[in-house]
Amino acid sequence: MGSAAVGRRAAGLGLAALAAAGGLAGCSSSNDGGGGGGGGGTASQAAGGGTYTIWDPYPQYDKDSEWVKLLTQCGTQAGVTVERTGYDTTDLTNKSLLAAQQGNAPDVLIVDNPVVSTLAEAGVLTTTEENKLDTSAIAPNLLAAGQSGGKTYGVPIGANTLALYYNSDVLKKAGVEADGIKDWASLTAALEKVKAAGKKGITFSAIGTEEGSFQFLPWFWGSGANLTKLDSPEGVSAVALWTDWLKKGYAPNSVINNTQTTSWQEFATGDFAFAENGTWQLANAEKAGFAYGIIPIPSKGGGTAPAPTGGEFVSIPVQKDTARYATSQKLVTCLTSTDNSLTTTTTLSYIAPTEQVQAKQVEQNAALKVWVEAVKAAKGRTSDNLGTKYPKISEPMWGGVQAALSGSKSPQQAMADAQSAAASATQ
């Protein structure tokens, strides 16, 4: 799989980030990815030749990487030269909106899935129907993250999500069987045993940013709650679960300020039984120096909780010269084809969006089986037709979680206030 640095960008700070224009707090990197004009060349160029621009959120990959080699290969197959620019996720969103306003959008745009609805609402993207992009093999729950108003605005290149890593030695000393953890009650009982054995329970990220919402959502959705009603009894129970863990010492107070990276660093000390984190930490897990395993995040009453999907969509922005779409379609089809999907998902540390390629990934690496299962149960943050309402709900939600964990408000009051703020913001 890809490096931990790649994973953290793809599914941590970057994954959950939208630009201010989209209403979500972003996290920018110092690497702007260089210049790179949009428009894919002049309007006078023939649709079957010339230069076509591709913008992506992977500035860490240079021209010698497998990713850029694939982009070049897809261009060659389409009979064009590809001019690729990698931007930080936040920069990419802002630049995409600006380029669209100036009529100078790239030919192909690869963006973080929560950004899709923002760009679609702004009139930046074409639909898959317009450009005859085949999405029939894509898992519906993954495709939903790129849908708005009943239309689909791109093809997912891959997905990742969250699960629970566990320290085998810590569980063994506490007399806990990981396979026996199927719901909140059994997980909490396991944490109680771990603490009694002198070890630490679980670490996660509850920081007051989109990253905190990203990590809270499996518990929120796993309770049966819906984002349109933050203060439902189910939603309150999810906040109460985390709050009780802190009160009983099953989780450290540091989770309030933890990012997914600092949370992982706590787990890597070897003192914790569990850590909520993503596919992108697999390489780090191998280097941790202790035996580990992975289980899905359990729902309140049992089964796998729906965790939020991370990952990018490959889309075709609106162009003045519509003759360019035919070649752009070839580029997108090449990048998302079954033949190339195994390369892209391995390079970018993702689970493939189709069952056929997922099976190949597990065949090559059995450790990915739990991640495939988690991705199958996952859902997009902007799904349920929330679209651009999601960031206006997410911010009050993470604020409510913070208020409850810090003890400044009860879980009930924290979520009641969060719902009031979300309702006002989305009217």
d(CA 139, CA 426): 29
Residues with Cβ within 8 Å of residue 137, at least 6 apart in sequence: 338, 354, 355, 356
Judge if 141 and 99 occupy the same domain.
yes
Residues 74 and 94 in one domain: yes
Among residues 377, 316, 314, 371, which one has the least CA distance to residue 131? 316
Q: Within 13 Å, how many C-alpha atoms sit on residue 208's CB side?
A: 8
Pair (156, 169) in one structural domain = no
Which pLDDT score is estimated for 65?
Answer: 93
- Indicate if 182 and 139 belong to the same structural domain: no
Instruction: Report yes or no on whether pTM surpasses 0.85.
Output: no
Among the listed residues 112, 126, 322, 295, the one whose alpha carbon sits nearest the alpha carbon of residue 211: 112
Closest among 27, 70, 68, 76 to 51, alpha carbons compared: 76
The pLDDT assigned to 50 comes to: 94
pLDDT score of 24:
31
Q: Give CA separation, 351 vs 141, 148, 369, in Å.
A: 13, 23, 10
190 CB-side CA count, 13 A: 24
Joined tokens for residue 319: 């162009």
CATH classification at residue 353: 3.40.190.10
Distance CA 64, CA 100 (A): 30
Query: pLDDT by residue for the chain (427 residues), tens digit each?
Result: 232 323 333 333 232 333 322 333 222 222 333 333 334 343 334 444 799 999 999 999 999 999 999 999 999 999 999 999 999 887 899 999 999 999 999 999 999 998 999 999 999 999 999 999 999 999 999 999 999 889 999 999 999 999 999 999 999 999 999 999 999 999 999 999 999 999 999 999 999 999 999 999 999 999 999 999 999 999 999 999 999 999 999 999 999 999 999 999 999 999 999 999 999 898 899 999 999 999 999 999 999 999 999 999 999 999 999 999 999 999 999 999 998 999 899 888 899 999 999 999 999 999 899 999 999 999 999 988 899 999 999 999 999 999 999 999 999 999 999 999 999 999 8
Which stretches of 122-183 are DSSP H helices? Answer: 140-143, 168-174
Rounded distance between C-alpha atoms, residue 260 and residue 272, angstroms: 15
Tell me: do 323 and 402 sit in the same domain.
no
Whole-angstrom CA distances from 145 to 24, 154, 285 are: 16, 10, 28
Between CA 104 and CA 344 the distance in angstroms is 27
Q: What is the pLDDT of residue 348?
A: 87
Q: Return the number of other C-beta atoms located less than 10 Å from residue 139's C-beta.
A: 20
Query: 263 with 320, same domain?
Result: no
Q: Which helix H or strand E contains 221, and what residues bound it?
A: helix 210-222
Looking at the fold, whether 35 and 58 belong to one and the same domain comes out as yes
Return the CA Rg of the chain: 21
Residues 284 and 188 in one domain: yes
Looking at the fold, whether 19 and 76 belong to one and the same domain comes out as yes
Name the residue with tokens 């049966």: 224
DSSP-assigned letter for residue 307: P
Q: Which residues sit opposite 277 in a β-bridge?
A: 163
* Parent domain of 323: 4-160+310-377
Domain count, the chain: 2
Q: Which residue do the tokens 């930490």 mark? A: 281
Q: What is the pLDDT of residue 95?
A: 95
The token pair that represents 325 in the structure block? 């779409």
pLDDT for 126 equals 98
Residue 133 neighbours by CB distance under 10 Å:
21
Numbers of helices and strands, H then E, in the chain: 17, 11
| Closest of 90, 84, 88 to residue 106, by C-alpha | 84
Task: State the pLDDT at residue 15.
Answer: 28
Residues 369, 255 share a domain:
no
CB burial of residue 230 (10 Å; 0-12, 13-18, 19+) = buried
Q: Domain check: are 93 and 9 in the same one?
A: yes
Co-location of 277 and 186 in the same domain: yes
